[in-house]
Structures are given as structure tokens and as C-alpha cells.
Amino acid sequence: MLEIEPFRDTVFDHADEKLGWVTAPIIHRDKGKACDIRTGVLLQIANMRFLVTAGHNMIAHGELGRSPEIVMPDKGTPTVPLSNERFWTTKAKAEDLTVCQLTDETVGKLGDRFRYASLSDFMSQHDAQHGRGLYLLYGFPNQMGTSDEDGTKRADTWRYLSCLYERDFSNVENYDPNLHILLEYERKTKNKAGNYVWPHGMSGCGIWFCGHPITHSPFTADHFRLVGIQTAWHKEFEYAKGTWIDVVAIIIWKYFSDARDVMRLHGMEF
């Protein structure tokens, strides 16, 4: 019988080693008070750097003047407001993505506290490995959050290893296999302290393909592949839904033409 625990523990260790650098907690502020924590993934293509997150509520926050802020890893360090960035949020709720190119000023403020995933980390929805391995959600859930003295929300990272959802797809709201990846996420999931941990706050986090305990052993940080951005969770039907990373690539191709030459080198053209 295949033992999953040693593989899981190795994946978790390497997730902190690699994914922790490219995964950012994001907040908005309402009258100075932090609210609506979410997660984002940092990408670099050529000399351009991007933040990708879930799209829901982003337009409403923008209309109210609530610019997103990246929370720095070190307690007491000021957040980095994304005040001068332009945001591309999908009109279709089914896609549910926001992409923005970070300004040089923002990149400078983030400094060496974050790094950036690259196109080499992408794995298309059309890759034959799908269904032959496990997937990792890596982000910042609300249940594992605390607040600084100034009200800045912080959260410990949460790692959830799962498999593709294979139950009744008719229960999945607005499901489109051309847009969405679905994973199992049990509502009775608990952390080591015995507290329930649900994916609220993880919207916008990466969905990473980890491979199989047999075919990807020994597992290393180089095995992680970004396949999607998590956007929703359903408590009753126990699924986490994400948008395929291919959709992110299409958005960048369409709106950031300077990225196309590098994308072509990686076999991408839309």
C-alpha cells in the first residue's frame, strides 16, 4: 500500500522553500482598517513583473478607492500599496481573475522579501500529466490570521495537498472544463491545533501540480508546476475551484505585448 504521508511532508517542506517566496498576502482597507484578505501569485516575464489574484470584489474595491496592499513577511514592516498599478479584471465571473503589472517603484519596495515565478513554472491544462498526480493549494486562510497593532492582517501559510474532484460536476456552479480546475477540499479539514481551516482568504493562491509519489520521488522544489489560480470553495460539495493558468497566459499575451517574444520561446502563442 502506497504511503502518502512521507510524500506530503516532503512537498510541504519544499513548498515553504519555493512557493513561500512567490506567494503574497493581500489586504484592502476600509476607513483605515484592514479587511478582505486574499492571496496572490507573483510572476516575472522578461523584465515585467506581475501580480495575479482572484477577480471577485476587485472592481468594487477599486471604485471605493481601496487599493490592494501587499503584506510584507516581517511583522512591523509597512504594507506595500498598489496605488499606481493598472488592473485587468475579467468581465466574466466564471474566469474570476485580476492581473496587474507591478511598477518599478513597487518592485523596489518588495525588494528581496519576495521572488517571482516564471513561465518555466507553468503547466498547461492540456498537459498529459493531469489526473496522474496530486495538487497543492498554498495561501493565506482567514482562520490562520492575526493582526498587528495597526490592524494589518497577517496569516500563516496553509498547505493543502489534494487530488482532482471526481464527484458530480452538476453541483459545481458555473463549471466550464475549458476554464476551471476542480480539487477536493473537505469541509472538516483541520490544522495541527485541531481548528478548522477553510480556504476563505486563499482566493488568488496558486494551484500547483506536485506529481505522484512514485513518478516524482524523490520530490524536489523543481517539481512544482503552476496550473491554476484558486477562486472559490463550496462547503457543502467540498470542492475548491480554480481558473487554469492558461487563461492568465492569454490575458498577459493580449494586454502586455512586450511579453510575447519570451512567451513564444516557451511555446505559447494565442
For 105-130, the pLDDT digits (tens) are: 999 999 999 999 999 999 999 999 99
Domain 5-20+118-245: CATH architecture, name and number where available: Beta Barrel (2.40)
pLDDT at 195: 86
**pLDDT, tens digit, 9 for 90 and up, residues 226-251:** 999 999 999 999 999 999 999 999 99
Q: Hey, what CATH topology would domain 22-117+249-260 get? A: Thrombin, subunit H (2.40.10)
Q: What is the DSSP string of 32-45?
A: TEEEEEEEEEEEEE
**Side chain identity, residue 208:** W
3-class DSSP state of 113? helix
Mean per-residue pLDDT over the chain, rounded: 91
Peptide bond into 25 cis (omega under 30): no
**Domains 5-20+118-245 and 22-117+249-260 equal at CATH topology level:** yes
pLDDT at position 1 over 60: no
Coil, helix or strand at residue 169: helix
Q: Which three cell numbers stand for residue 34?
A: 484592514
Model confidence, pTM: 0.94
Residues 6+ apart with CB under 8 A from 269: 253, 260, 263
Amino acid at 172: V
pLDDT tens string 148-162 = 666 666 678 999 999
Where are the chain's structural domains?
5-20+118-245, 22-117+249-260
